Chains A and B, each alone.
Chain A
């Protein structure tokens, strides 16, 4: 340790750091502060955006129909921006700094650029939020032209994106410094590799956003006469969909991280897991095309190549992680002596630790609800059954909320003690929070998908189309589904509130985590598994293999049921 500080001093960077009492990892002071501010900004946006989400769910509930139409579209736009963009990306910046500086034992590259990035992100996100709340920018998250928002809406998003790009540069810069100063041996740890995957996808995401949002901004102030609608849609989804792939890569990295920290779990095979991330880097972003599947004027070759042939390679990546992560947990648990029967390791897992339970629920919900529905949506033929219906928000609430948000919530229960150095307050609330939130979000995802399958359109305030000349007979079951969606949305809101209460409460009032507290209340198995290269190297995993078999059965059944549905939509006799 003293060696690398000396080296740091040699090149004129004698940076302050502390050694984490829980993990033994070096925590540089500047990195620590940046992680804290980004995490706090993230949580504040989650609180605001989550509240908007509950309002949306209550408006969609036909028996309540809370908001009038104009306010509904305003709140829906604000909900999308606050949680889908701001909460998640602020948190991801914190993850990038953690995965580079802390896991590689290295000072952060150009901390002042990291601060500049943070300020741009704060300024941009506030500007865009204000624009939406002023009521002139209720253009939805997608902001399809020729709908026009106020100029400062686009400007806010652009500033936010520039800030996020700076954060990515700082991340890549830190990788370079770590390599030059040899602060780690061999290859980077797997969690860092997952963060690299997320950062790469982020660069493409931000580039697509710049290509389309800068001209749109100029159009909104009158410098450009017209933006072609289909081109806008194509390039915009290069940003809109890819940003969700940043989330997938980041939360998979978080899964590996939690398993490593809480249980000391190593991946089954480093090579295989890294190859799975490589499949993400190469193919995951092509799935942007699923938003264009019903667009006339684009060939089936383009659609099918991007959403099927290429996407399935990325899905293969997810399947590998989906086996590798529970496998790593099982292997670690068996190593720790929980070897009874097929599922003894699972029963004996630390289900009372919100970091673990949140992680486990996130894996299951993401795989079963988000993953399977994603493949169905990405298949050109069966996509037509639910394209642009409420099924789509159902799908992405399973991926982004039950998957990403829950995973980020779970790791927060480690970030607070390890980075903020505070013990959790309200431990009982913390213990139940992941379950409440998971049931709530799982329910909303499922019922939105159900309503979408019955033909309820997404986004629309009046699902009955009561004033339209072409009427649509909404089946009664769809109303039931939307009512249930409202109830489970409320439950998710309660879960979110519990999270905010515990996290904000702990940061403000938690007991300082000193050496005594670390000894009395250990929360991690150590920092070695997360910060070094190494595999479990075993496949004796009867529990995981059983779980994977169940997953495949569900997957195949649901996939073919949709083909059966399709055949009924177009009777060929």
Chain B
């Protein structure tokens, strides 16, 4: 069973998902779902970019009322 590991071994290999059979390539979607820290990155980036940063950029463009 000591199969040659998938040629382009990514930084943190895919042992998590398929578990037993390392020769079977784990689909990209499953690798995403099995990586909580990648999910954490996405889950924080999405609202930060689309809600907070975009929102604050719009607020910053409101002209100050003349005194």
Instruction: Give the residues in chain A near B48, CB-CB below 8 Å.
Output: 204
Asked whether B55 lies within 8 Å of A242 as measured between CB atoms, the reply is: no
Contacts between chains A and B (CB distance < 8 A), count: 96
Asked whether A298 lies within 8 Å of B51 as measured between CB atoms, the reply is: no
Asked whether B51 lies within 8 Å of A289 as measured between CB atoms, the reply is: yes
Contacts A172-B36, A179-B16, A187-B33 given; indicate if A203 touches B44 (C-beta within 8 A). Answer: yes
Query: Distance in Å from the Cβ of A147 to the closest Cβ of chain B?
Result: 19
Query: Distance in Å from the Cβ of A95 to the closest Cβ of chain B?
Result: 16
Bound CA span A324–B33, Å:
18
Asked whether B44 lies within 8 Å of A187 as measured between CB atoms, the reply is: no
Listed in ascending order, the chain B residues whose CB lies under 8 Å from chain A are 16-20, 29-30, 32-34, 36-37, 39-40, 42-44, 46-48, 50-52, 54-56, 58-59, 62
Query: Distance in Å from the Cβ of A177 to the closest Cβ of chain B?
Result: 13
Instruction: Give the residues in chain B near A231, CB-CB below 8 Å.
Output: 56, 59
Instruction: Give the residues in chain A near B55, CB-CB below 8 Å.
Output: 234, 289, 292, 298, 302
Asked whether B54 lies within 8 Å of A302 as measured between CB atoms, the reply is: yes
Contacts A193-B33, A200-B40, A281-B39 given; indicate if A186 touches B18 (C-beta within 8 A). Answer: yes
Asked whether A200 lies within 8 Å of B43 as measured between CB atoms, the reply is: yes
Which DSSP category, helix, strand, loop or mixed, fits chain A's interface? Answer: helix
Asked whether A286 lies within 8 Å of B17 as measured between CB atoms, the reply is: no
Query: Can you offer 17 A-B residue contacts whose CB atoms are under 8 A?
Result: A172-B37, A199-B40, A200-B36, A200-B44, A203-B44, A231-B59, A234-B52, A234-B59, A278-B39, A285-B43, A286-B47, A288-B51, A297-B62, A298-B58, A298-B59, A302-B54, A305-B50
Interface-central residue, A235, A285, A306, by most chain B CB under 10 Å:
A285
In the complex, A448 has a CB within 8 A of chain B = no
Instruction: Give the residues in chain B near A286, CB-CB below 8 Å.
Output: 46-47, 50-51
Q: Indicate which residue in B18, B32, B42, B59 contacts A230 across the interface (CB closer than 8 Å).
A: B59
Asked whether B40 lies within 8 Å of A299 as measured between CB atoms, the reply is: no
Bound CA span A283–B48, Å:
11
Bound CA span A401–B55, Å:
30
Interface-central residue, B29, B48, B51, by most chain A CB under 10 Å:
B51
Instruction: Give the residues in chain A near B39, CB-CB below 8 Å.
Output: 196-197, 200, 278, 281
Bound CA span A471–B13, Å:
68
In the complex, A175 has a CB within 8 A of chain B = yes
In the complex, A208 has a CB within 8 A of chain B = yes
